Structure 1
């Protein structure tokens, strides 16, 4: 920080504090609203200083004091934090339309599905995804891609000949390759592509000063955050431009072999949706699939594997189910997955404890509304604390423990209808790619335990430390020796 900037900040602070207290006094004297409980806040920054290095854990701890509906202030932005299933139900079901908007992410400009503001544009984008890309029929049509990539995964682990393998890296690679082949028609296993994905997720999860304190937006420029965003999106734009051009120039492909780019270009050409599908919209949808699909799938799968390694009895139970289901075949195929209830229970329990995005993607209220009796003003951002809800001791017995059996013969699912378990959200803005993500994870995990026993390298239990961002990753990779079953 330059000397001039330091002097400017020191001179400005007294005025900022005075204005803040004057505004707070006027607001409190005028307002008679029944607002949710709030922790004490500081001038200018609000409660930002209380979030620390792990915001979702800090907010979970604060909710124990201030309750399941808590109003905090991040800079100048009021933020409602919902940490109970009752609060989530009111926001995502009772008042779903009012909370269906997404807040502006400042210098992030999205024309996709996940981050687009609620309105006609978002409805058009979602209809494309639901009807043409992520329908049950379309997901099933890519079964051959998933099975081919998992066969290659098994082969690569076997080639290691019981030497140490980085299971985290392999899991990320297989989910990435499946998604790239389905989306773009080719693998994206180069370092440049992985670097773009990693940097995009890091930037999406990074703190933007201007997002919460608009008057200090220049800090994002000085810190380089804004420049990094422009750089990575320029790279992605050029990459996707080449992919689209390559698809536009190739001969017509078989209906059965079409990837997502082929489908979107066909929609654009035939105008089947009744509105023009512009190239920017195509790129945004592709970016949504590539960034969101790869990271969340591999992250949730990695946490499931880590929990199994921590709980040998659960691993043994799952392996036994896999061995019975596999019936000495070379691999477990997708049609066999319905015979594996314990597999599904393991993945559900991992999602309950480790929601890929613990705070989901923020919502925003578009009008004044009441939630659990509290007044929520229009324009309030909303964070749904999926992890706090999934670990709520009033809803889950032994809530902090990994117990897959709790989901056996249990109708609770992750599809957004059971509000005590919403790792993918609920309501209008629920993730539309749930089925695609979970069939990949089920197939990968089923075959890993079917083909191998795993022994951790140099330790009895995996380190469960976290790295925070838009999704919460394991800090350290899972390093194992993979021993084939006899």
Structure 2
């Protein structure tokens, strides 16, 4: 909503907006209505905007509070869009498993359509033959366990640089604390770019600062208010007047220029051959394969870049920051996980990925972080393709479906003391996040489960293991664990509102 409100500030044309409001009322009255029966319960709505005003700054929290009154299957009207909100594991299972075939489409979003080259990516492409082929290509060629392991050299290299930077700053006597958010974000970006493009932005053509700014602008635009998504017949006028479309176009052209530079560099015959293929090499090779059912074009490749760039960096860094925040807030857990890591790793300077499987408590810490802080709290929205029933209620075609993974992770019917950060709850539990247990679904489930789950988790676990092995972590002077602010802010993913300030103390082996 921030983009929408900020954009209106510079219009200073109240008469124009009044005219638009009158037009919206007229159009709203002339849109045909269906007699829909047996809809789920939901809050009363206002004319034109429906329940949009009830989303607030933290939609996942606002919808959680509403679900406590109206139930785990709730019906809203967001502008002109009928919407279903799911807030319990049982109802999530109905959507993601029992009715998966009926509810596995993605709603069309103007912003994501533009950035994904007309929905040629995996995450936002509509369900159908194209999506099946693209997902098959990416799962087999990019996201297998073997392929993820082949990129270990990138993670090892970037984490070693990261540890050295922290060590230098920790040795500075004037340093009272370090703002970890930006440093972890930069590390995640370098890992993803090394895996995807084979570069850490040292090449002049890639212009790191410009791309970083464009990435931030794109996240703001995507998470902002796009009127066309909620008012299909006339929202485009509002988007033009607020400047939303122009900002989106600017982001698209900056990204396209960057993607084009990456592809052209990889096509240069004089380019030095690396010891390991990156994702760009793999996609270009696939585009030259004329035997497959889908011949990849340059736009297909760029659309995959968009998924990797916009989703992977933010989710990896955000999850790592939340984990470190919870550990700093819970010294008992911090001490226990560090003891485990150091006992297994010994005096080695860096944690090897092959040893992470032995770190059972670290994995519980990551699970507990994902339970309390899923990167996409409402998952990516789905859309029903045909009539079905959820919880005994009617769901009609073209209904948008939000699954509140944040609320499900705090369901008191499932979790004892759900607000407490207590990794031991997973010690004797079979509950996992791989799509078979609907009590914990940070990556979704069913046909549209996140295909890059293993890639993201491997990075998070490796970063955390090395941060906790190489350093002890202290709060700024005078600060207590309970003083750490855990307020949230929502963009494309959910992040801490206030930066995490900690002081690393290099462990001497």
CA distance in 1, matches of 2:265, 2:275: 19
1:391 equivalent to 2:404? Answer no
Equivalent position of 1:106 in the other structure: 110
Tell me whether 420-429 or 400-409 shows the greater mean CA deviation: 400-409
Distance 1:464 1:178 in 2: 26
Unpaired runs of at least 5, structure 1: none
Q: Do structure 1's residue 81 and structure 2's residue 94 form an aligned pair?
A: no
Question: For 2:229, which of 211, 226, 237 is the aligned residue?
Answer: 211
CA distance in 2, matches of 1:94, 1:124: 23
Q: Residue in 2 aligned with 1:470?
A: 492
Which residue does the alignment assign to 2:6? none
Which residue does the alignment assign to 1:183?
Answer: 196
Q: Does 1:323 align with 2:342?
A: yes
* TM-score, L = length of structure 2: 0.91
2:63 is aligned to: 59
| TM-score normalised per structure 1 | 0.95
How far the C-alpha of 1:325 sits from its partner, in A, is: 1.3
In 2: Cα distance, 1:275 partner to 1:243 partner: 22
CA distance in 1, matches of 2:462, 2:408: 27
Where 2:462 maps in the other structure, the secondary structure is helix
1:91 aligns with 2:95: yes
Give secondary structure in 1 for the equivalent of 2:74. Answer: strand
Give runs of ≥4 in structure 1 deviating > 4 Å.
9-20, 251-256
- How many residues matched? 479
Q: Does structure 1 retain, via aligned residues, the 8 Å contact 2:111–2:222?
A: no
Find the counterpart in structure 2 of residue 196 from structure 1.
214
- Counterpart contact for 2:265–2:271, Cα < 8 Å: no
User: SS state of the match for residue 473, structure 2?
Assistant: strand
Q: 1:11 to 1:411 in 2, by over 3 A?
A: closer
1:357 matched residue in structure 2: 376
How far apart in 2 are the matches of 1:373 and 1:159? 60
SS where residue 270 of structure 1 aligns? coil
Query: Once the 2 structures are TM-superposed, how far is the Cα of residue 211 of structure 1 from its aligned partner?
Result: 1.1
Shift of 1:106: 2.5
- Measured in 2, the distance between the counterparts of 1:54 and 1:37 equals 22
Aligned residue among 305, 308, 315 for 1:289: 308
Contact 2:75 2:82 in 1 (8 A): yes
Quick check: 1:225 aligned with 2:244?
yes
The one of 156, 163, 167 equivalent to 1:158 is 167
Deviating more after overlay: 2-11 vs 471-480: 2-11
> Aligned partners of 1:315, 1:439: CA distance in 2, in Å?
20
Change (3 A) 1:43 1:140: same
- 1:209-238 C-alpha deviation (Å, 9 max, x unpaired): 121013232111111111111110111001
Instruction: Compute the displacement of 1:308 (Å).
Output: 0.3
* Residue 237 (structure 1) aligns with: 256
Q: Write the distance in 2 (CA, Å) between the matches of 1:209 and 1:418.
A: 35
> Per the alignment, do residues 151 and 11 of structure 1 end up closer, same or farther by CA in structure 2, a change over 3 Å counting?
closer
Aligned to 1:436: 455
Partner of 1:460: 480
Question: Which ranges in structure 2 are unaligned for 5 or more consecutive residues?
Answer: 1-11, 203-207
Take 1:242 and 1:13, find their aligned partners in 2: how far apart are those partners?
A: 43
1:274 deviates by 2.8
Aligned twin of 2:74: 70
**Counterparts of 1:170 and 1:221 in 2: how far apart (Å)?**
36
Moved more, 220-229 or 206-215: 206-215
- In angstroms, what is the RMSD of aligned CA positions? 1.8
C-alpha deviations, 1:126-148, integer Å up to 9, x for none? 11110101111110111111111
Correspondent of 1:174 among 175, 184, 187: 187
- List per-residue Cα deviations over 1:342-382 (Å, max 9, x = no partner): 10000110100000010011000000000111110011000
Which residue in the other structure is 2:292 paired with? 273
Aligned to 1:339: 358
Matched residue SS, 1:415 = coil
Contact 2:211 2:254 in 1 (8 A): no
Shift of 1:85: 0.7
Secondary structure (helix, strand or coil) at the match of 1:257 reads coil
CA contact (8 A) 2:73 2:86 kept: yes
1:15-54 equivalences under 5 Å are 15=26, 27=34, 30-31=35-36, 33-54=37-58
